[in-house]
Structure 1
Amino acid sequence: MPPETAPPRWRLLAITGLSPQVVTETLWALAGRAPPELPEAITVLTTAEGAEVAQRLLPPAVAALAAQLGRPLPAPEIRLMRDRAGRPLRDIASAEDNRAAADAIIAEVRALTVDPERALHLSIAGGRKTMSCLAGIALSLFGRAQDRLSHVLVDPALQGREDFFFPPEPPRPGAAGPPPAGLILAEIPFVRLRGRWRPEAIGAGFAELVAAAQAALAPPALEIRPRRREALLGGVPIALPPALLGVLLWLAERARDGAGAVACHGGDAVRRRLAAECLACIARCAGGAATRSAEAARRALAHGMEKEFLAEKVSRLNRALREALGPEAAPYEIRREGRRPFTAYRLALAPEAIAIREEEA
């Protein structure tokens, strides 16, 4: 027989207010899966008021559930939301409290989605509605394929009662009929955006991370300011040496003007024309100065555009864009078309996505 697969390692993160019961209700529902799903760790993120209730009620409730299940459960770790001065949040009662809660939630979700070997199950059943909304957005920004989002539903007559933490009967995996106490775990599909941007590169609060994600998901826009030796890719400024910026400027102007891909296998007249176009763009980016890279380009292209020159510059340019932007660099990279020795190069942006600002100094 094949060896049994080790159960996945995962943590339950519950965002709670004054009803820590959602933690044990969620655990009870997960224990009823076939096979049972139990976490290796439990984190409760809550306010100062919520922590007082959770510290009093939750440890004995988790111990009682473990006894009912006949399985060990980790002791819950209760973490406080804090404001920007480090003070515990008593409640979410103002706009400033809401911003602080958002930052605390995003920081927790971010930290718990770093380890690729572990999964996160986020419960948004507790706390104020704004807390649930913020937590769902946070998981959408940072969530990976293995992470999950859920809400637990229970009979309204039992909600908030300090004497109800889970049904008195153990869960029965695969049992038919209505669940005890109407307790249902509703898993929520969510959009995973992590692969579309680089949240790990941004050390910011909730609002700043949302803005960064929005910028990464916006339609591509390239703006080149030759006199500043600068390109803005999706609003992100990137400094490039004159030779690389000049090549980018040249290919951007060709894309804007519908000139097509650049191929270096034409006749001498074509190669000399291409070299002149490219060198003119490099000179604009060098500001007329005899920079080392501009002079090297002039010597390399003295007899026309060379495929080795263009291939090397495209490779370096694409590498610089990826290092600066990560996955968001893809729309701006120079594409190779055709097979050697007939390779051609082009910038595949739409003309309306390209702006050249000559007047910017």
Structure 2
Amino acid sequence: MKTLLLAVTGMSPQVITETLWAIHHEQGAWPAEIQLITTSEGGKRAIDGLLAQGHLQRLCDEIDRPLPLFDASRIHVVTGAEDLPVDDARSRADHEALADFIMSKVAELANDEKLQIHASLAGGRKTMTYYFGYAMSLFGRDQDCLSHVLISEGYENLQDFYYPSATQPPVTSRDGRTLETSAAEVVLADIPFVRLSDSLSPDMRDLARSISFRQLVILLNMAAHPNQIRVELNVGEQALAVFKQGKTEALAHIKLASKPTFALMWVLIEAHMEGDHSLERRRLDSQGNEVPDRSMALMLLEKLFPLCGQTIPPNCVQLEALLKALSDYAELNDANFMRTLETLSGGVTSNWLTPQISNIRKALRNALPDPLATLLSPTLMTITAEGQLEEASKKDQNPSYRFRLNADQFVIKNT
């Protein structure tokens, strides 16, 4: 497995050689490549100190290690609010851009299962290291590690000190002392971190490259505060939008591409908003045999008309009449949809309903962190003696599909 040393740096590119020296002496995995996330000025200093002055090559020669791949193309300069390279992250807008850039880059690299990331927090501004560490918590895998280097007193942030060299001349400390470079102590400190990557699906990892760091953190935190969530079902877009209460900008859009799947979500949300507890996974007769649910099939067909750009014909209220009217459309436009209509002709059964519920849950998991996706997924629930909804257990009779959120947290937008 290839090891990548990934670091955030500021005005001190020395943290790279210090980290490499410590990795060598503590017998860690030697990186085959180095990549930096930095500002435009930090990038210039890295090129000058590590490449032009030759400190990286000199270190590798002195400790007899192969030179990791490193050049200007592996220096990622953060772009600011106006999509221009950041000289020095001092404004609020630049720090927002810095957070987004770091998150996106870490998410991209962590998608490579053949890559081990050694993330160094030794350089950069405090906020850079915070965002970097948090991004590693979000996307870091079991094979990845996080570290810092500890430098003995007097040697920190000295422009001429790159590593404890036996061949380089002495350096001058900030208080004017002459210090032998070989006398410095550099210790690699392993930093344990909480790995949250299992709560993010592959699609969610991809989404992290296009949404902001702030948006992702809000989504991750929302599951802990369900009363702050508002869900809008947009019929025209055939999608769900997730908002924070009181905000007008959606934090996530979940597209349900299948018309029958979206129609089911529409029916379930509408029933939940109306307090309708009749949408069961399966209906059984007195002998325990499943009875197709014609009323649910009727609800679905009524929703499918506008999704297909059709209008329900006048006085067309029976299941058979609705099926005939939609079949004329489906026969010309969508063979898969035609098969759905044939399935619904006898009423909804668990054989059709269960896979559709799975499709909804999968779409939510692909677009949202797992805890939030679970919170927004339809689930089987029962009504307690006090009239409250609670999740059904295996012993509960005839549970119905409802939602964990309150009915007033849903909105249906028909235009």
Q: TM-score, normalised by structure 2?
A: 0.65
Take 1:63 and 1:297, find their aligned partners in 2: how far apart are those partners?
A: 66
Whole-angstrom distance in 2 between the partners of 1:285 and 1:224: 18
Does residue 1:41 correspond to 2:58, yes or no?
A: no
Could you tell me how far 1:10 is from its partner in structure 2?
0.8
Aligned to 1:153: 150
Specify which of 109, 112, 116 is matched with residue 115 of structure 1: 112
Give deviations 1:94-130, integer Å, cap 9, x for gaps.
2343344334433432332232101111112112212
Does 2:50 correspond to 1:53? no
Return the alpha-carbon distance in structure 2 between the equivalents of residues 273 and 80 of structure 1. Answer: 59
Unaligned runs of 5+ in 1: 1-7, 171-179
> Any idea what SS the aligned residue of 2:7 has?
strand
Alignment partner of 2:354 out of 314, 323, 326: 314
Amino acid aligned to 2:205:
P
Q: Map 1:71-86; keep pairs closer than 5 Å.
A: 71-78=65-72, 79-84=75-80
**Kept in 1: contact 2:12–2:157 (CA 8 A):** yes
**1:200 to 2:193 alignment:** no
Q: 1:102 aligns with which of 99, 113, 121?
A: 99
Q: 2: CA distance between counterparts of 1:130 and 1:338?
A: 46
Aligned to 2:25: 32
Aligned length, in residue pairs:
337
CA distance in 1, matches of 2:143, 2:407: 36
Give the aligned partner of residue 244 of structure 1: 261
Matching residue within 168, 175, 185 for 2:188: 185
Deviation at 1:239? Answer: 4.6
**Offset of residue 316 of structure 1:** 3.7
1:39, distance to aligned residue in structure 2 (A)? 0.4
Secondary structure of the 1:76 match is: coil
Shift of 1:334: 6.0
1:200 deviates by 0.8
> Residue by residue, what CA displacement relative to the aligned partner does 1:291-325 show, whole Å, maximum 9, x if unpaired?
3479987875666x453xx4224314533552465
Amino acid at match of 1:200: D
Between 153-162 and 42-51, the greater mean CA deviation after superposition: 42-51
Distance (whole Å) between structure 2 residues aligned to residue 183 and residue 210 of structure 1: 35
Aligned mates of 1:273, 1:312 — CA distance in 2: 10
Where 2:154 maps in the other structure, the secondary structure is: helix
User: Secondary structure in 1 aligned to 2:192?
Assistant: coil
**2:45 is matched by which residue type in structure 1?**
V
Report the equivalent of 2:222.
Answer: 218
Aligned-partner residue type, residue 32 of structure 1: H
Q: Structure 1 residues 104, 228: closer, same or farther in 2, change over 3 A? A: closer
Q: Distance in 1 between matches of 2:267 and 2:76?
A: 54
| Aligned position for 2:173 | none
In the alignment, does 2:64 pair up with 1:64?
no
TM-score between the two structures when normalised by the length of structure 1: 0.73
Kept after mapping to 2: 8 A contact 1:279/1:298 = no
Cα shift at 1:25: 1.3
Q: Identity over the aligned pairs, expressed in percent? A: 25
Deviations 1:162-210 (A, max 9, x none): 332222479xxxxxxxxx73422222223333332312135426xx244
Unmatched tracts of structure 2, length 5 or more:
168-182, 244-252, 313-321, 331-336, 381-391
SS of the aligned residue for 1:12 comes to: strand
1:139 to 136, 139, 155: 136
Assess, with a 3 A threshold, how the Cα gap between structure 1 residues 265 and 215 changes in structure 2: closer, same or farther. same
Report the CA distance shift for 1:227/1:94 in structure 2 as closer, same or farther (over 3 A).
closer
C-alpha root-mean-square deviation of aligned residues, in Å? 4.3
CA distance in 1, matches of 2:364, 2:413: 25
Partner AA of 1:188 in structure 2? I
Whichever residue aligns with residue 238 of structure 1, its letter is K
Q: 1:168 to 1:313 in 2, by over 3 A?
A: same
Cα contact 1:264–1:306 (8 A) shared by 2? no
- Distance (whole Å) between structure 1 residues aligned to residue 285 and residue 156 of structure 2: 77
**How far is 1:38 from its partner?**
0.8
In 2: Cα distance, 1:157 partner to 1:352 partner: 60
Does structure 1 conserve the Cα–Cα contact (< 8 Å) formed by 2:146 and 2:193?
yes
User: Shift of residue 159 of structure 1?
Assistant: 0.5
The separation in 2 between residues aligned to 1:359 and 1:67, in whole angstroms, is: 66
Name the amino acid aligned to 1:187.
D
Equivalence map 1:323-342=2 (5 Å):
323=363, 325-326=365-366, 328=368, 331=374, 332=377
**Per-residue deviation at 1:158?**
0.6
Structure 1 residues 123 and 218 mapped into 2: Cα distance closer, same or farther (>3 Å)?
same
- 8 Å contact from structure 2 (residues 148, 189) kept in 1: yes
- Say which SS state the counterpart of residue 34 (structure 2) adopts: strand
- Closer, same or farther: CA 276–268 of 1 in aligned 2, 3 Å: farther
Asked whether the equivalents of residues 9 and 117 of structure 1 are also in contact (C-alpha less than 8 Å), the reply is yes
